[in-house]
Structure 1
Amino acid sequence: MRSGLSDLAPGDIDQLAVLIRARLKLMQYHPELLEGCLAGTGLSLGP
């Protein structure tokens, strides 16, 4: 997940949408990203 959107210069909005969908799809396979975001806020997934 290192190659972020920061270095992107899309030609049009459709190209940007395709890239964002692909990156979001990859995030589905990395639950540690969600855990890291929650840890940064002090929240947890537990009851």
Structure 2
Amino acid sequence: MNYFTKIQKEVEDLGFKILSKDFNRPWGGFLVIDENQSQEFSN
């Protein structure tokens, strides 16, 4: 399991729904979580 996959699993285990992801950027990558969970995520 690589670093990005590990982070994705941790975020999902916290109950967040991942809508998309891109781990192929030169600077790393990103996850897109459900917009309805954005406030909970920022808390």
Q: Please indicate the TM-score interval, normalised by the length of the shorter structure.
A: 0.3 to 0.5
Please say which structure displays the higher CA radius of gyration: 1
Structure holding more strand per residue: 2
- Higher RCO (C-alpha under 8 Å, 6+ residues apart): 2
TM-score (norm 2): 0.32
Q: TM-score, normalised by structure 1?
A: 0.30
Higher share in helix: 1
